[in-house]
Amino acid sequence: MDRVCIFIDAGNFYHLALRRLGLHEADFDFDGFATFLANGREIAREGKRFYVGTVREIQDGHENKQAMVNQTSLFRELIERGGWEIKTSKLRTRVEKIKIDNRVVDHERLQKMGLQEISYVRSREKGIDVKLATDIIVGAIDKKYDVAIVVSSDADLVPAIDWVRMRLKKKVEYIGFSMPATATDADDAIKPTKTMIYRTDIQRVLVESDIRPFTKTLFAKK
């Protein structure tokens, strides 16, 4: 039987699936989800891996403080109850600006209102893809798995995936997502990444009905 190692890019998973369904990581049963992904195969020792940007406290930021508490609670549950390996990276926050020109929808109306540019705060994870790619390679070299199950649509992982497949003959299984467009934007449907489909051995595209059963609030109602 193949031994599998599950690599979850938590930020990618949240934006492509959980957020679209109105869920947070704390609402989700990651252990049950891992069993679902393994699909009867053996999960290797240290074979459940979770990669995420850590929330930083901002002075007088109540929402951020609560987010830190929630994330710490999630980490404790994953480690103590599920035996997950967690790799973190700090979320980098910076102010970015958008110039109001013909690239912006309804730019003429905005310019008439006197708006020339918009400033906004953006947080980005730094180094998560590098850590995930490194662990895919190191795990393959150390023979920790036969199949790497990658829950991420980040095409930056492709070089690492190519290397373990071509050099070490490991199989890579891509978990992508298909979610319908929202009522406010017909063009924002979630689709699996074609590059990841073409450069992996096994592909599974999950839809809402695959994700919903692992919502913890459903268990509480039973």
DSSP 15: I
Half-sphere exposure of 8 (CA within 13 A, CB side): 24
Structure confidence at residue 217 as a pLDDT band (50, 70, 90): low
Arithmetic mean of pLDDT, 19-47: 94
3-state secondary structure of 222: coil
Burial state string for 142-166 with b = 16 or more CB within 10 A and e = fewer than 16:
eebbbbbbbbbbbeebbebbebbbe
Arithmetic mean of pLDDT, 13-38: 93
Return the pLDDT at 221.
43
Percent with pLDDT over 90 in the chain: 58
What confidence tens digit (pLDDT) does each residue in 101-115 have? Answer: 877 767 777 777 777
- Whose CA is closest to 42, among 139, 144, 131? 144
What confidence tens digit (pLDDT) does each residue in 46-78 have? Answer: 999 999 987 664 544 555 677 777 788 899 999
